[in-house]
Amino acid sequence: MTDVTPPGDPAPLLSVTDLSVGFKGHTETVTVVDHVSFSLRAGETLGIVGESGSGKTVSSLALLGLLPASARVTGSAKFDGRELVGMPPRKLRDVRGNDISVIFQEPMTSLDPAFTVGNQLSEAYRNHRGGSRRKALDRAAEMLRLVGIPEPQRRLGEYPHSFSGGMRQRVMIAMALICSPKLLIADEPTTALDVTIQSQILELLKSLQAELGMAMIFVTHDLGVVASVCDAVSVMYAGQVIEESPIDEFFSHPLHPYSAGLLDSMPQSVAKGERLRMIAGTVPPPSRFPVGCRFHPRCKYVVEACTTTPPELDSVEGDRKVRCIRHAELTLEVAK
Amino acid sequence: MLTFIIRRILALIPLLFIVSVIVFGLILLVPGDAAITLAGGDAATRPRILLVRHQLGLDKPFLSQYVSWLGNALHLDFGRSLYSNQTVVSEVWQRFPVTLQIAGGALFFGLLIGVPLGIISGIRPRSVTDRAVVIGTSAAIAMPSFWLALILVLNLAVYRQILPSRGFVQFSTSPYEWFRHLLLPWISLGVLAAATIARQLRGALADVMSSDHIRTSRSKGLAPIKVVGKHGLKNASAPVLTVVGLQVAYLIGGTVIVEQIFGIAGLGTYVLTAITRDDLPAIQGSVMFIALLTVFVNLLVDISYALLNPKVRVE
């Protein structure tokens, strides 16, 4: 578990323990998320960071049962005293969009093109709160104003195709927040947007979080985003959490060679004119995760033992965790 | 929306013009001297030939023949049948309701069976139910309707005698008998429509269900019936409508055979008789009528596209 829940504090809002997700294939089940644990308190933001294929999106969507039918989810995810894993679909629907909302990576395709924005927003509201169409539309207009869409009353009657990508993501945020959820899962919400729009959306999410007091899980591969939004970070590699840390310590001295590699490959960490650095190789597909430490084929600090013994997630420095047998002996420096 | 409809109607004018040229051009396909053939071939008397030639305007140049034919056609005057001496329009109009009841009922049957099959198949592609539906609809598509009609008649009408094998009863006379007489024609024509609609809906719905906005709908906590019934079906409906439009044309054509098998005097029988008797005005009139009907149905399909998909209205 991350430090987001310091000892002595009240129970966390969400506490995920040993969450595993497998996909049933033709011959065998492929495990893409392997015993992932994290937790966060009300009002706080956890970043889940990793490359494509690390399992970060799958683990966050698994919480709400939004994965395809072939997915097998095990482990535990306690939210506000309720167990989400294995919850009956009917009960889970009461949680979705009401207590926990999601915004997705693709604003261009995430809204239904055949219904007006007003219809989709009020539908989300009435689904959980009931009430008249009129009242739901008023609430929808209020939400559009909140996310910074001008002339909300008029835009309610428009279809998604007359909104730009950034505006559509604002609509998605309005829709996700219309029932005032306690937790918002943002799955790479800015990846598909222009850089200028990205920072607008990030600022919007930050200010809304402060205003509404909700917790956020921010799934991203962008450490710059993590630095500006998150309180804590959980780094995933090949379906496992390999490091958990409060944000400041993580950026000043990462504990895992992979985290260090990620920080090192940020464009900000090289001088002008210098070549961008990168971690050689790619994340292996789930069917071919290496034996021992899953990162060892790409690791600069690999020793014999790394290729045979799968490392445990060890607690260090009180509130940090790392999955590396050499973490005590390595001093990882990140260029500033 | 209104401008959209008006534009679509205007776009039909050139299409109907081309159809009219082809329909009128049928006269050129009559072997030898059309007037002799139409007057009864070798047995025709000289006065009869002259009468037919004059009646059809065959003594005038082709272009002026066409112009005067088109002029009349615009006033819904396709001349008189060479045999019954009634106007073609009144004969077509008399036969059409029967054919409409056969084709309409078959289409209804197709939707009644095809839509639910398409839905249960499309929401779970590659499941056992889906595979069963795919196999079943493949078989249905491969089955010619005349063959199916004969099998049904043999089994249900001749051997078991549950249903009548031939004939037609007006709805106003006896709704029950009307239904009993039309059931076999509906099924023989409707099975293919059902299979085609089911296949199309299956594909479209399977596509839509894997799209991002369906995931959004689920993430809002909507019940599956709302996710599939509202967001799934509305987005999957366009390709299905296209198929329904095509099916209407097919069903009208299919009635020709089915009316023969079940001995029903509809438009299909009328066209067939007209063709075998070289009754040119009757052929031209009824073919033009069927073409108009097909074009009208496709116009309706286009308009419903626009109603279902807001983007079409803009383009």
Query: Under a CB-based contact definition with an 8 Å cutoff, are residues A277 and A270 in contact?
Result: yes
How far apart CA A159 and CA A149 sit, in angstroms, is: 14
How far apart CA A216 and CA A232 sit, in angstroms, is: 11
DSSP B10-30: HHHHHHHHHHHHHHHHHHHHS
Express each pLDDT in A197-233 by its tens digit: 889 999 999 999 999 999 999 999 889 889 999 999 9
Instruction: Please check whether residue B218 touches A, CB under 8 A.
Output: yes
Share of chain B above pLDDT 70, in %: 99
Nearest to A242 by CA among A51, A113, A8: A51
Which chain A residues contact residue B216 at CB under 8 A?
104, 110-112, 172, 175
Indicate the Cα dihedral angle A176, A180, A182, A186, nearest 10°. Answer: 20
User: For residue B84, what pLDDT is reported?
Assistant: 85
C-alpha distance from residue B113 to each of A212, B118, B131, B168, B236 (Å) = 50, 9, 17, 24, 17
Across A105-119, A274-288, B76-90, which has the greatest mean pLDDT?
A: A105-119
User: For residue A101, what pLDDT is reported?
Assistant: 96
Question: Does B276 score more than 60 pLDDT?
Answer: yes
**Beta-sheet pairing, A215-220 with A29-40:** unpaired
When the pLDDT of each residue in chain B is averaged and rounded to a whole number, the result is: 90
How far apart CA A155 and CA A141 sit, in angstroms, is: 9
Beta strands in chain B (DSSP E): none
Judged by CB atoms within 8 Å, which residues 60-99 of A form the interface with B?
64, 66, 69, 93-98
Question: Does A10 score more than 70 pLDDT?
Answer: no
Question: Does B169 score more than 60 pLDDT?
Answer: yes
Lowest mean pLDDT among A13-27, A127-141, B22-36: B22-36
Q: Do A98 and B221 touch (CB under 8 A)?
A: yes
The first and second tokens of residue A216, run together, are: 């956020």
Question: Does A1 score more than 50 pLDDT?
Answer: no
Express each pLDDT in A45-67 by its tens digit: 999 999 888 899 999 999 999 99
Beta strands in A90-230 (DSSP E): 100-103, 183-187, 215-220
Instruction: Please check whether residue B234 touches A, CB under 8 A.
Output: yes
Residue that wins the pLDDT comparison between A314 and B313:
A314
Residue that wins the pLDDT comparison between B309 and B18:
B18
A52 CA to chain B: closest CA distance, Å?
18
Nearest to B194 by CA among B125, B257, B243: B243
Q: Do B212 and A159 touch (CB under 8 A)?
A: no
Q: What is the DSSP letter of B309?
A: -
Which chain B residues contact residue A95 at CB under 8 A?
221
User: For residue A275, what pLDDT is reported?
Assistant: 84
Express each pLDDT in A240-280 by its tens digit: 999 999 999 999 989 999 999 999 888 877 788 888 888 88
Question: Does B313 score more than 70 pLDDT?
Answer: no
Q: Do A66 and B234 touch (CB under 8 A)?
A: no
Domain residue extents for chain B: 2-74, 88-314
Which chain A residues contact residue B230 at CB under 8 A?
115
For the domain made up of B88-314, the CATH class stated in words is mainly alpha
For chains A and B, count residue pairs whose Cβ atoms are closer than 8 Å: 72
Express each pLDDT in B85-122 by its tens digit: 899 999 999 999 999 999 999 999 999 999 999 999 99
Q: Do B231 and A106 touch (CB under 8 A)?
A: no
Residue that wins the pLDDT comparison between B53 and B313:
B53
Contacts of B253 (CB under 8 A, 6+ apart): none
Lowest mean pLDDT among B58-72, B171-185, B200-214: B58-72
ipTM of predicted assembly, 2 dp? 0.88
The first and second tokens of residue B27, run together, are: 């006269």
The first and second tokens of residue B143, run together, are: 């089955």
- In residues, how long is chain B? 315
Instruction: Please check whether residue A191 touches B, CB under 8 A.
Output: no
How far apart CA A144 and CA A146 sit, in angstroms, is: 5
